[in-house]
Amino acid sequence: MKLINLLCLDLSGCFNLQELTRDMSKLVKLRELRLRGCRKLRHMPMGLGNCTGLQKLDVFAAKGRSFSGTNPNHPGDSDDYEVGGLAELNRLNNLEGKLLIKVDGTWSSESEARAANLRGKEKLTELKINFIGGSSRDNEMLLEGFQPNANLRELWIYGYRGERIPSWIDDNDYL
C-alpha cells in the first residue's frame, strides 16, 4: 500500500463494497475510516487493530463462523484463511463519537465480544449494535460481552434475538 501517510479514508455510500484491502494494517497514520452506507461490507480486515491512532470509525462489521473449519465468507477456503474479528477493536481505544457494530453469524463464546474491549473506549458517546442472524443464545452471549464504557450516552440494539438484557445494564456505573 503506497498511501502510508493517509489520515482519512471515506468510503461512505460504496453500497457494493464487500471487503477492505488486507493491507489496511499498513495505514498506521489513519485517523478516520468512514464506512457508512457500505451495506454489503461483510467483515473487517485482519490487522485493522494495528491502526491504533484511529479516532473515527463509524461502522465495524464482524462475521462469525457458520460452522467450524471454514471461512463463512469463502466456504471453499481452508481454515488458515483469516479475517479480522471483534478482537480487531481491542487496541482501538482512541475511537470517539459514534460506532455501529454489525455482528453476523455464529459465535463460540462471550470472550469473542469481550475481546473488542468496548469498556476501554472512553471517548465513545454512541454505540449501535446490529445483530444479523445468530441464535438467541449467540446474541445473548455477545451482548453480555459487549459491555461498554460507562461514559456512553446512547446505546442502540437492533435485531436482538435474546430473551434477556445483559447483566451489566444493572451495574451502578450505568444507572
Instruction: Evaluate whether residue 86 is within a structural domain.
Output: yes
Domain of residue 98, residue span: 46-67+82-175
Instruction: Evaluate whether residue 3 is within a structural domain.
Output: no
Q: Which of 157, 156, 149 is nearest to 95 (CA)?
A: 149
When divided into structural domains, the chain yields a total of 1
What does the alpha-carbon distance between residue 121 and residue 89 come to, in Å, rounded to a whole number?
9
Supply the DSSP symbol for 72: T
Higher pLDDT, 161 or 174: 161
pLDDT of residue 3: 85
Ranges 52-56, 102-106, 157-161: which has the least confidence: 102-106
Beta bridge partners of 106: 65
pLDDT in tens, 15-25: 999 999 989 98
The pLDDT-based confidence of 172 (bands split at 50, 70, 90) is low
Helix (H, G, I), strand (E, B) or coil at 81: coil
Q: Which of 87, 98, 15, 84 is nearest to 56 (CA)?
A: 98
Instruction: Evaluate whether residue 132 is within a structural domain.
Output: yes
Instruction: Evaluate whether residue 102 is within a structural domain.
Output: yes
Instruction: Evaluate whether residue 151 is within a structural domain.
Output: yes
Instruction: Evaluate whether residue 4 is within a structural domain.
Output: no
pLDDT of residue 80: 42
What does the alpha-carbon distance between residue 95 and residue 16 come to, in Å, rounded to a whole number?
26
Residue written as grid cell 452471549 = 141
Instruction: Evaluate whether residue 121 is within a structural domain.
Output: yes
Instruction: Evaluate whether residue 134 is within a structural domain.
Output: yes
Q: Which three cell numbers stand for residue 16?
A: 457494493
Beta bridge partners of 157: 129
pLDDT in tens, 105-163: 888 788 999 999 999 999 999 999 999 988 999 999 999 999 999 999 999 999 999 99
Q: Which of 96, 44, 52, 49 is nearest to 73 (CA)?
A: 44
Contact 137, 163 (CB under 8 A): no
